[in-house]
A and B are shown apart, each in its own frame.
Chain A
Amino acid sequence: MFYRTHVLVEMTSSSVAFGAAQVKEALEREIERVGLKNEVKVLETGSFGASLPSPFVVIYPDNVIYAPLRVQDVRRVVEEHLLKGRVVRELMLAGGLEWKTSEFAFPFPLAKETRVVLRNSGFIDPLNIEDYIARDGYMALAKVLTEMTPQEVIEVIKRSNLLGRGGAGFPTGLKWEFTYKAEGQEKYVVCNADEGEPGTFKDRLILEGDPHSILEAMAIAGYAVGAREGYIYVRAEYPQSIRHLEEAIRQAGEYGFLGENILGSQFSFWVKIRKGAGAYVCGEETALLESIEGKRGEPRVKPPYPPQKGLWGKPTVINNVETLANIPPIILRGPEWFKSIGTPTCPGTKVFTLTGNVNNLGLIEVPMGITLRELIFEIGGGVRGGHGLKLVQTGGPSGGTMTPDLLDVPMTFDTLPKYNSALGSGALTVVDDTHCIVDVVKSFGEFFLHESCGKCTPCRIGNKRIVEILEKISEGKGTLDHLEELLHLGRNMKMTAFCGLGQAAPNPLLRCLEFFREEFETHVKEKVCPAGTCQLKSLQRTVR
């Protein structure tokens, strides 16, 4: 059926929290009431981008944005705009932005935004495979199956220098090559969608907004490494991602992009979803494999690495959602195109999620190498309430702590470690100067205490002791010895913890102890909290 107008409603977990589902329902009800049901179609789409008001509705092809559109205003939009063709100016997005589509670029005021990973998010109905196909969906898979050998595919990915976007930044092409070369008939592709790093929600928006891009990339990976089966491990906290994936897998099967003899080739590939059950540690690749195998999600000894011995002991390639979303465009447009974005040693884009005390919360995809200053002050609109910037936690608690002196460092996988920081998952948690450093570090500590799997002692006991000491400090019972003990604990955990998570757990603590030494000392020497947000605040008042 042909529709003259499409109404696109952004439907992500965040917009649903703002009532997008009710707005969509109201739109459908009103459209039916005025008799436009056969002319106007309401579609759900993924995220339109950072810091946009919600619920966000686009009338297409008119290119008019109504945002935030409230349920009580839906009737007016339907009667005026859709029925009578008169734009309701006062309900339009402030600033009257024009919505244009052009390939891989999104000309919002966010001039720096470059969309590769989020190329379809917000433009297509994720529940309709034809929308994906219309935007070159499954073309890369077709190209790979008809024109390329597995070695050629691996060569292209290697030449693109795509680095794993889950946080570690390991070259994806090498992972594929190791898995390809590993001995064994049965091999697996696993998509790590256990996005648990606090402050990160990029994978959720990709899965909700463009699930087919992940299925296509997994099939390409399967062809390259010689696997017939793929698993997507999605965290339990993402029910909508799971629903969209289930539907996408069903449709891809129906259209012959998954299953037996894909596109008439000799290649067959199936994808299954495994749902997590609320364990942060399962984002660690070997813990994730244990979890798929129905066990407690405790990390394995490495080596052997998953490309040698992965799922059920078979060679396995594990890629993050964002990494996979880069694969189809690289295949279609070539490694040189990919390398023209970002920096020479760290090409491509990165999706950053802006969270915490920043004016514009949300996600943004920008070329690698952007600085924190641009991200927070230009795109993020600065620190909320005009406060000063205290710190930015990059890549979640296990990433790095960036202090205001590091605002101009280019954000890439290779530069940040030089500053004892890490790009990690791309989460940016902005903390303003009204917050007490002890309280902030304690919040990181409590996270690791809660999420430690308990397998090794440094992590299990170390995090417990860190939180206990920080509690003492914020109760006014801290001493200078406590600060030394924290340093000692942190350094030991870094050296002796079993997996990457335990080793990363003390990072924020160590960095903050160094940079905010004075504030810690004020807490233990003078029993006063300069910021006044930890429990010492009340103590401070009674003393005075």
Chain B
Amino acid sequence: MTAPALPRHRSAALAESLVLVGRSVRLSRRDVETLVMAIALPLLMMALFVYVFGGAIETGGAYLTYVVPGIVLLCVGFGAAATAPAVADDMGRGMVDRLRSMPVAAAALVTGHVVASVARNALATGVVVAAAIAMGFRPDAEPLEWAAALGLLLLYVLALSALAAGLGALASSVQSASALTFFMLFLPYLSSAFVPTGTMPAVLRAVAEHQPITPVIETVRGLLTGAPIGSAGWAAVLWCVGLLVVSSGFAAWAYRRRTRR
């Protein structure tokens, strides 16, 4: 065993990740179409649900107040899913080989994508919440509740982005990477995001109440609008942390698998 010749400082991986975060943010900024879609789609969905379906949905209060947390979750799910094609695109190009033949931490490239996803989602969420307030959404959250809601959303976005990054590394093309993440866009519909679960058939209700998105939505809704949270809070945190741990492991595994030839 040859002694490791170049002493790598402990902060090396962090510094390298930061450089690649900068790269991913730069690429995101230039991919105007994806960015516009990430903001326009949730806005359109919100208008659709509030003005078209909303009148007919009984939630025991203003529908706008009920649906905004769901729209935010849909928005970040959509934004996180964009990580998959971005990673798949990189895997299909020579840049990955360049980075792998350099003294750069293996995790830095994927970390760059995941952190850029968080930045994209922060922007999109900001726009969506601002639009909701313009439409009449009046959250009654205290600063601490805002912080808790944002923290939970951050965990959720990190977990979904890491999952999407792993799927992107596994996918054979940019197109299939997009297709693989469809469930991220679909899952919010099967939750309490847009309608209370009470009217769903029993089987569907069981799925909707026990899938990770429902507790996250209930918690965010409770923190922002004062609806009861109950046990959803702990369930949401546990789901997000668990998902983040599993997704990160999955992403690392997928990246290694893709690059081991």
Question: A and B, one complex?
Answer: no
